Structure 1
Amino acid sequence: MKPLFSVEPIVALYILANMACNILIQQYIYRQIWENENNSSYNENKNSSNCYQNHSSHTKQQVIQENASRYFMYMNLVQLVPSLITTLILGGFSDCYGRKLFVLLPSIGALINSLADLAVAYFSWSIYVLFVPAALTACFGGLPALFGGAFAYVADVSTRKQKNMRMALLDMIVGVMGGVGALSSGYFLKAAGFNWPFLTITLINLVNIIYIIFFFKESVEVSRGEENQKLFSDNCKEILSRVLIIFATSDFRKRVQIGLLLLAIATFSIAEFGSLGLYTLYELNTPLCWNEVLIGAGSAAELCIFLLSFCGVAVFSYHFRDIFIVFIGTLSFAGGMIMAIFATTTLLMFLVRLVSLFAFMPFPVLRSMLSKLVLPCDQGALFAIIACLQTISSAISTIIFNNVYAATVEQFAGFGFLLAACLCIIPVGILCVLSWWKSQEQENSRLLIEDDSI
């Protein structure tokens, strides 16, 4: 069969399966913890939830929330560190060995993960067994590796005019398929329980692997000579040296600006990733007491924000400077977090997503601002730094926000959202400094021109 130059189906199938699997396994773990604490089966009722109303039962509910929060934190930590290392290795060597391995390994990892979830649900094994396949799956790269390979592949096979279009298309696929996966998972769970959804996800991952092996055409000519064999070890030194060159070859002004923008990305990533990780637990808790369908719908609405944010970047870029676009996105996110603190009804929780309409806009714009500060030959090293920084920030946010939520869930369950809103002060302050700096540079340039003309 003729191979195809198309990575979009791989991303679509991976995101569909990955998002549905994440939503389902969170609810499965939560129910298992609930059953262990209560020594009874989880009560599924279409008209009511498993939230408690009296004081003693409410206290038990908070214990379940704390245990689930800590479990998710440890699970994310087990996955993030190996995933970071594997992504860096695959990113450095894909130029020599091709992009196919870059997207195949994460897909194999996803298959292993879904098989493990199916086995645990079917045989009713302990949820702590899931730590082993989680660590093994992370060694295959996971979502960061898949995104890195997909964007690199698009850059290989696209002309200069096509690159923006196809990269924007990948972002749209992530939002649409993620929303479909999140929304369908709730209905599928209610109709068939956990086993059939996990089996379906496993089959989707298997189809994805078959497509990559038999239909996906390599974009890089892979040489089997001795020169490329040596590059496998040499690339590690080259990546590290290029990271240092970015700062060494820049003047003081650019080094400060790069450092400030990287700090802005790191703090905003901690706030965004940390708060989003609390949504499912917060929605399962009183007074919302959401069921699986509402959780899926909420996650789908959240991923629609991702799409609308990129549409906002496209529109606002014609009218505003980059800094003001980041301002709008940061304020939109902070407003949504403040509203989430007071979201005690289903309507208000969905309105949180409406207020957060442009919450994802800062990420692409901050990357663009950084890209403009370095030389074209240093772009790869720059985005490697950004990828590592966001992965580390995600790990830090998991530790901070899950521990904060576990400690405050009984007294003030919305404190994590308040913390996220407060963290936005740092990137806003950085943007104010950079905006003032930019105005000062323009003023100095104008004065120099006037002096020269006299």
Structure 2
Amino acid sequence: MEEDSDTTEILPADALSPEQEDPVGSPRCRAPPYSCPFSVTVQPVLFLATFSLALQMPLYTQYLWDRISEDLGYNGTKGGGCNSSAHDQLQKEVEILTAHWNMYINLGGFLVGLFVVILLGSWSDRAGRRLVLIIPSLGLAVQASIYLIVMYLKLPVAWFLLGRICSGLSGDFNAILAGCFAYVADTSDKSSRTFCVAILEACLGLAGMFASIIGGKWRHAQGYISPFWLVLATNLATALYAYLFIPESVTPDPEAKLFSGRHYRAVYDLYTSGGQRGHRVWLWLYTLCFFLVVTVHFGSRELYVLYELSAPLCWDSVLIGYGSAAQHLSYLSSLLGLKALQHCLEDSWVAIIGLASNMIGSVVFSVANTTALMFTGYGLSLLFMTSTPVLRSKLSKLVDPSEQGALFASVACVEGLCSLVASGLFNSLYPATLHIMKGFPFLFGAIVLLIPAGIIGGLKCQEQRMHNRETAVN
């Protein structure tokens, strides 16, 4: 990328003349086969991909629960409730096996995807962003196809691992995240980047909210297979939209190679090369904050369904759908809260407010023994997603425009690592602490979030002191 690329406006492809459309080294967008009639770019891609993921996740966990329950002869949650006394031991065995299979299957997919995301994300700096949106969408479609085969033929649940590995080999959902956020960094300035990132985060929540409501009612009416057909169709539609309507935000290099060690080297250099004013140290610290926050998010999300299925809540699929919808509604409420709070507070303080909302909600979840208390926890967590867009934006502002692809590849890699650690930690912690405190993992997550809150506040105070010194000198 040219040295003056950060001062060059990225124009829509249809504003370029034929002579200007693809000059060597130009950062201007290249036209897709068709123009989208609306003023959107990657937002529909993230919306559709998230919709398919949020539609299948609760159903997938419930399918594991039902299959394992059937194998063990447990029917405590069928026919209108669960018995916390007569079937208590058998229910705990179902919970433990479901949590463990969740962990095994997710670990398999994320271990593979962890390395592929780096390749795809860093490669997109030279090959273009569109391919990084299309390839993982097709991989997720393959995963949905394998899941359908497992359900139709009633194969052992271990076959789900094959689907997760196929998805991981294509970069999985994290590659789509990397491509979308890198695209926004390409096409936004620093002053508006936090809110642009928050819009993408809101797409995550809005899609998840719709999928959760639809999935619970659909599964209750028709079982598991029909919703997974929609998952397959949505992933194929995501790939098709990315190919037909999204203009390139970087000029593709026809000589760019996917399988090259330079992609790993780019991420390595990003975190090890010297930076002005200690920015590389700040990069590490904000990355640590992002890791802790997202790990708690992922770990808690994996346990919500198990927590709600079992005694004393004993929710059915409809209530689980409403619970997931309430959780995903926080993405939209966080976007509105972020926009409102930015008028009177710096981004760092907005992030700390979001972490406080998350911690309070988690404490309530840890002691929730009624439906009303569980939804109270969801209500108190309405601002919990204001922290992640702030952290993504701060990371993006710390690096050069030519490093955005490598940065978001590393962020996607961190997200994959978050899922791996969260799946292993929380799915192991939950069965291990059932006899002590059923909601202990949520309380544990609230305690962990104190660390990023302290780091973000400390860095903001240091930034303010540096600014005051510079002002005094000038």
The alignment's TM-score, normalised by the length of structure 2, stands at 0.83
Deviations 1:363-388 (A, max 9, x none): 12123334444455544444333332
Cα 1:211/1:330, change in 2 over 3 Å:
closer
Q: Residue 120 of structure 1 aligns with which residue? A: 150
1:402 match: 427
Q: Distance in 2 between matches of 1:230 and 1:67?
A: 43
SS of equivalent to 1:288: coil
Structure 2 CA distance for aligned equivalents of residues 440 and 217 of structure 1:
42
Asked whether 1:419 is paired with 2:444, we answer yes
The correspondence for 1:352, drawn from 361, 369, 377, is: 377
Q: Does 1:131 align with 2:161?
A: yes
1:92 is aligned to 2:118: no
Question: Is the alpha carbon distance of 1:402 and 1:160 closer, same or farther for their aligned partners in structure 2, counting shifts above 3 Å?
Answer: closer
Distance 1:416 1:201 in 2: 30
Query: Could you tell me which of 86, 103, 114 is aligned with 1:73?
Result: 103
Deviations 1:50-95 (A, max 9, x none): x22325x111111111111111111111111222222211112223
Q: Is the Cα contact below 8 Å between 1:82 and 1:138 reproduced in 2? A: yes
Within the candidate set 145, 162, 178, 2:175 is matched to: 145
Which residue is 1:236 aligned to?
263
1:217-228 aligned within 5 A = 221-222=251-252, 224=254, 228=255
Q: Is the 8 A contact 1:340 1:349 kept in 2?
A: yes
RMSD: 3.0
**1:245-293 per-position Cα deviation (integer Å, ceiling 9, x unaligned):** 5x41334x44443333222222222222212221111011100001111
Query: Residue 19 of structure 1 aligns to a residue in which SS?
Result: helix
Measured at CA, do residues 112 and 306 of structure 1 come closer, stay the same or move farther in structure 2, by a change above 3 Å?
Answer: same
- Structure 2 counterpart of 1:365: 390
Query: Of residues 33, 37, 41 in structure 1, which corresponds to 2:68?
Result: 33
Of 124-133 and 427-436, more deviation after overlay is shown by 427-436
The reply on whether 1:53 has 2:84 as its aligned counterpart is yes
Asked if the contact 1:99–1:153 (Cα under 8 Å) also holds between the matched residues in 2, the reply is yes
The percentage of aligned residue pairs carrying the same residue is 31
Q: What letter is aligned with 1:332?
A: S
When structure 1 is superposed on structure 2, of 258-267 and 411-420 the one drifting more is: 258-267
Letter in 1 for 2:236: L
Superposed displacement of residue 148, structure 1: 2.1
1:121-200 matches, cutoff 5 A: 121-154=151-184, 168-200=198-230
Letter in 2 for 1:311: L
Paired position in structure 2 for 1:4: 35
What is the deviation of 1:348? Answer: 1.1
Structure 1 position 145, deviation (Å): 0.9
**Rounded Cα–Cα distance in structure 1 between residues aligned with 2:188 and 2:458:** 38
Asked if the contact 2:182/2:404 (under 8 Å) is kept, the reply is: no
Deviation at 1:33, TM superposition (A): 0.9
1:323 aligns with 2:353: no
Q: Which residue number corresponds to residue 21 of structure 1?
A: 56
- Are the structure 2 counterparts of residues 365 and 122 from structure 1 closer, same or farther at C-alpha, using a change threshold of 3 Å? same
Aligned 1:226-265 pairs, distance under 5 A: 228-229=255-256, 233=260, 235-236=262-263, 238-240=265-267, 242-244=269-271, 247-251=273-277, 253-265=278-290
Distance 2:125 2:286 in 1: 28
- Give the CA deviation at 1:183: 0.9
* 1:377–1:229 distance in 2 versus 1, CA, 3 Å: closer
The aligned amino acid for 2:63 is Y
Q: Post-superposition, which runs of at least 4 consecutive aligned residues in structure 1 deviate over 6 A?
A: 40-43, 157-166
Q: Is the 8 A contact 1:31 1:42 kept in 2?
A: no
State the Cα deviation string for residues 312-366 of structure 1 (Å, max 9, x = none).
Answer: 2211111112332122111110000110112111111111111011111111212
Structure 1 pair 52–213 and aligned structure 2 pair: CA distance change class (3 A): same
Unmatched segments (≥5 aa) in structure 1: none
- Answer whether contact 1:83 1:142 (CA < 8 A) is retained: yes
Partners of 1:187 and 1:87 in 2: CA distance: 34
TM score, norm. by length of structure 1 = 0.87
> What is the rounded CA distance, in whole Å, between the counterparts of 2:352 and 2:77 in structure 1?
45
User: Contact 2:121 / 2:405 at 8 angstroms: preserved in 1?
Assistant: no
Which has the larger displacement, 380-389 or 282-291?
380-389
Residue 24 (structure 2) aligns with: none
CA–CA distance in structure 2, aligned partners of residues 144 and 371 of structure 1: 17
The one-letter amino acid paired with 1:19 is A
**Change in 2 beyond 3 A, CA 1:443/1:134:** closer
Aligned counterparts of 1:206 and 1:244: Cα–Cα separation in 2: 35
Structure 1 window deviating more from structure 2 (363-372 vs 318-327): it is 363-372
